[in-house]
């Protein structure tokens, strides 16, 4: 006899960014029972973080791209979808069982189908000194601005590459913060290489216009900008004091109070990895992504992914991907047939293609810097939790560590509280480069539950809620 | 060092025995940074100071002791009136 008093739903969605919100709204409008679990206290994900509570002045300076999230959040609030904010998912099983904790209490929920909408995380930027207080990810600074109206107070240096780097610089300038310099690894040759993607990108002309506006605002503010930057190294005693780098054949050193680092975003694959779904290496963007069909379904039939967690596509494309995944879920659960699914999806597919037209340009222009992927300096910390350096990893490889999982035994790399989120990509890259192997041969960490912190008390209290024979 | 763009209604939390006036809705990490906290933990391996890095629950560098419970992510925990927050220094100890 199974004693099971857990909740259940047709579709359980994890994450309330653009993909999760539209999927929940669409699926519940189609008559499916939906439950959305989200780690944050409010809907919006990171891109629309604080969308319901941000100060009006903050929302205004973040601009229309941010404010667009308000409509998604209110449509979701008006839908019949269930919602558990503050829910930290720590285990997902292919049979549809999801375990999460909320307010110190663990729960089980069952879905006929699961949609993983957990978005992206920033690519690690392992440079010497990146663990010093005073060094933060640029995305982290943006979260502070969105969620709390808090900005760095002294001299700020922004370094790395990618559209978000320029956006956060522009937003901080607008907020009146003191951006003292922008250091970009992007070189003139990257612009030449990207030029061939320009005709296709013209289909998404609004993105190009936004990029031009960011450049214009930054130029108008008269902030020193360095391009083709390399050999970045942060230093300071107990906290960040200065950054040194090379640009234009010269060595530079700049003092500042805050260093914001960014090198693009990559899919957050923690849940699809824990499920052991198939993943593939994306050579030009240098990240792993789950293998998906055109509706987001993974190699595990009950689980789909929508949004940046599947491949970096941006907020607006993610909102469309969420709706496509909802349509396919409705088809699978018998609400309508294939023909109707495809008919409903047709206009969405057109919109999606338009949004994706900008990607080849962005991917070429903002290719990940090789020195961020394989840090050349042996002293650079790769695993921030266990303080394992690039040199430690190279030594372990020479001593016989063949892959990321074996490296754990040699060094404890990836075994700290972040469970490899901050070092996983770098570790695979260093091992592949050291062995002359491909990334596919080298592989990635095996991710095991619980994938979020869980106390023994929470786990013990869950006992009588598990199905028992 | 960080600053607030807007004044907001305030609630009180305690950080290392000091009372801070912080805005409701914000996270512990945001509140401490806005108040000028430079580091929020020291590492178990070398004792190096660390501060919140990613602000979105990924890096776990903001682990702190919140209301007596260690290893809590300050960037994922909302402030509450009367909350007691301490730095997490070095290795956790098991109380008998």
pLDDT above 60: residue A3: no
Tens-digit pLDDT profile for residues A70-113: 999 999 999 999 999 999 999 999 999 999 999 889 999 999 99
Which residues of chain B have a CB within 8 Å of the CB of A149?
4-6, 8
pLDDT above 60: residue A223: yes
Domains of chain A listed by start with CATH number: 7-121+266-335 (3.50.50.60), 124-263 (3.50.50.60), 374-442 (1.10.10.1100)
| Predicted pLDDT of residue A277 | 98
Tens-digit pLDDT profile for residues A116-132: 999 999 999 999 999 99
**Residue A41: pLDDT band with limits 50, 70, 90:** very high
Tens-digit pLDDT profile for residues B1-59: 899 998 877 899 999 999 999 999 899 999 999 999 999 999 999 999 999 999 999 99
Q: Which residues contact A317 (CB under 8 A, 6 or more apart)?
A: A352, A355, A356
Tens-digit pLDDT profile for residues A365-393: 999 999 999 999 999 999 999 999 999 99
Handedness of CA A344, A350, A355, A361 (dihedral sign): positive
pLDDT above 90: residue A459: no
CB A34 within 8 A of CB A27: yes
Considering only CA atoms, which of A103, A89, A122, A161 is closest in space to residue A366?
A161
DSSP class per residue in A56-105: HHHHHHH-HHHHTHHHHHHHHHHSS-EEETT-EEEEE-TTSEEEEEETTE
DSSP A445: P
| Predicted pLDDT of residue A469 | 39
pLDDT above 90: residue A35: yes
Using CB atoms, pick whichever of A39, A88, A384 lies closest to residue B59: A384
Q: Does B58 touch chain A (CB under 8 A)?
A: yes
| Predicted pLDDT of residue A187 | 87
Do the interacting molecules here have an ipTM over 0.90? yes
Using CB atoms, pick whichever of A152, A387, A455 lies closest to residue B1: A152
- For residue A408, the surrounding DSSP H or E stretch is helix A404-411
Mean predicted lDDT score pLDDT of chain A: 94
pLDDT above 70: residue A9: yes
Interchain contact, A418 vs B43, CB within 8 Å? no
Q: Does A271 touch chain B (CB under 8 A)?
A: no
Domains of chain B listed by start with CATH number: 11-89 (3.10.20.440)
pLDDT above 90: residue A6: no
Tens-digit pLDDT profile for residues A389-411: 999 999 999 999 999 999 999 99
Q: Counting one residue from A and one from B, how many pairs have CB atoms under 8 Å apart?
A: 134
Q: What is the mean pLDDT of residues A15-20?
A: 98
Q: Which residue of A has its CA nearest to B23?
A: A148
Which residues of chain A have a CB within 8 Å of the CB of B10?
none
Instruction: Quote the CA–CA distance of B64 and B40 in Å, as a whole number.
Output: 7
pLDDT above 80: residue A466: no
């Amino acid at each position: 006899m199974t004693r099971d008093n857990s909740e259940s739903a047709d579709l359980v969605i994890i994450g309330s960014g653009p993909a999760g919100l539209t999927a929940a709204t669409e699926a519940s409008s189609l008559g499916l029972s939906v439950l959305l679990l989200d780690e944050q206290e409010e809907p919006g994900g990171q891109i629309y973080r604080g969308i319901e509570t941000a100060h009006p002045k903050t929302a205004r300076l973040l601009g229309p791209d941010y404010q667009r999230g308000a409509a998604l959040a209110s449509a979701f609030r008006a839908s019949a979808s269930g919602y558990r904010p503050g829910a930290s998912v720590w285990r997902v099983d292919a049979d549809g069982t999801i375990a999460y904790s909320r307010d110190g209490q663990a729960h089980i929920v069952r879905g006929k189908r699961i949609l993983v909408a957990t978005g992206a995380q920033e690519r690690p930027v392992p440079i010497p000194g990146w663990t010093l207080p005073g060094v933060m990810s640029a995305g982290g600074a943006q979260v502070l601005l969105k969620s709390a109206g808090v900005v760095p107070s002294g001299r700020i240096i922004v370094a790395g590459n990618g559209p978000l780097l320029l956006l956060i610089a522009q937003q901080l300038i607008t907020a009146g913060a003191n951006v003292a310099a922008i250091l970009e690894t992007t070189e003139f040759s990257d612009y030449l290489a990207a030029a061939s993607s320009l005709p296709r990108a013209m289909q998404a002309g609004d993105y190009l216009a936004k990029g031009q506006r960011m450049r214009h605002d930054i130029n108008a503010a008269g902030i020193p900008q360095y391009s083709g930057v390399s050999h970045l190294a942060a230093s300071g005693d107990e906290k960040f004091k200065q950054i040194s780098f090379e640009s234009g054949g010269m060595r530079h050193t700049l003092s500042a109070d805050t260093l914001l680092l960014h090198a693009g975003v990559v899919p957050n694959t923690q849940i699809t990895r824990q499920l052991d779904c198939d993943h593939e290496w994306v050579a030009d963007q240098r990240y792993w992504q789950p293998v998906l069909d055109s509706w987001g379904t993974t190699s595990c039939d009950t689980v789909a992914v929508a949004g940046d967690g599947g491949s970096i596509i941006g907020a607006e494309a993610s909102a469309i991907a969420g709706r496509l995944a909802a349509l396919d879920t409705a088809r699978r659960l018998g609400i309508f047939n294939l023909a109707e699914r495809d008919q409903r999806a047709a206009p969405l597919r057109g919109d999606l293609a338009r949004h994706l037209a900008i990607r080849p340009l962005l991917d070429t222009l903002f290719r990940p810097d090789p020195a961020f992927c394989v840090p050349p300096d042996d002293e650079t910390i790769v695993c921030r939790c266990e303080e394992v350096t690039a040199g430690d990893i190279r030594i372990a490889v020479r001593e016989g560590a063949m892959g990321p999982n074996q490296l754990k035994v040699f060094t404890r790399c990836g075994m700290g509280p972040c469970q490899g989120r901050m070092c996983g990509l770098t570790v695979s890259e260093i091992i592949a480069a050291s062995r002359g192997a491909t990334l596919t041969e080298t592989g990635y960490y095996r991710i095991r539950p619980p994938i979020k912190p869980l106390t023994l008390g929470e786990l013990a209290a869950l006992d009588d809620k598990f199905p028992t024979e | 060092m960080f600053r607030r763009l807007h004044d907001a209604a305030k609630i009180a939390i305690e950080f290392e025995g000091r009372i801070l006036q912080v805005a409701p809705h914000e996270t512990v990490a945001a509140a401490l940074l806005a108040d000028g906290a430079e580091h929020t933990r020291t590492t178990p391996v070398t004792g190096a100071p660390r501060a919140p890095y990613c602000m979105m629950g990924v890096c776990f560098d903001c682990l702190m002791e919140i209301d007596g419970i260690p290893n809590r992510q300050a960037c994922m925990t909302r402030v509450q009136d009367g909350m007691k927050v301490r730095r997490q220094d070095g290795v956790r100890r098991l109380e008998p």
